[in-house]
Amino acid sequence: MLSIYTLDGFCLPREMRVIGIRGIPLVQPADNLAELIVNAAGKRRLAFQKGDILVVAQKIVSKAEGRIIKSDDVIVSERAREIAEKNGFNPVHVELALREASSVIREERVLITETKGGQVCNFSGVDRSNTEAGSFILLPENPDLSAQRIRNQIRSILEIDLGVVVSDTQGRPWRRGSVAVAIGVAGLDAFKHNRGKRDLFDRTLKGSTVCQADEIACAAEPVMGQGAEGVPAAIVRGYRYSQGEGGAKLIVRPIDEDLFR
* pLDDT at residue 3, as a whole number: 63
pLDDT for 10 beyond 50? no
- Are residue 149 and residue 193 in the same domain, yes or no? yes
As for how many domains the chain has, the answer is 2
Read off the pLDDT of residues 151-176 as tens digits, 9 standing for 90 and up: 999 999 999 999 999 999 999 888 99
Owning domain of residue 219? 2-67+140-257
- Are residue 81 and residue 128 in the same domain, yes or no? yes
Residue 77 is part of a domain; what is its CATH number?
3.90.1660.10
* pLDDT at residue 227, as a whole number: 67
Nearest to 135 by CA among 170, 168, 93, 97: 93
- Are residue 11 and residue 48 in the same domain, yes or no? yes
Terminus-to-terminus CA distance in the chain, angstroms? 41
- Are residue 54 and residue 158 in the same domain, yes or no? yes
* Single residue among 84, 101, 135 that ends a domain in this structure: 135
* pLDDT at residue 11, as a whole number: 41
pLDDT for 40 beyond 70? yes
- Are residue 178 and residue 246 in the same domain, yes or no? yes
* pLDDT at residue 36, as a whole number: 98
- What is the Cα gyration radius of the chain? 19
Read off the pLDDT of residues 105-136 as tens digits, 9 standing for 90 and up: 999 999 999 999 889 999 999 999 888 889 99
* pLDDT at residue 184, as a whole number: 98
Residue type, 138: L
- Are residue 165 and residue 148 in the same domain, yes or no? yes
Residue 21 is part of a domain; what is its CATH number?
3.30.1330.100
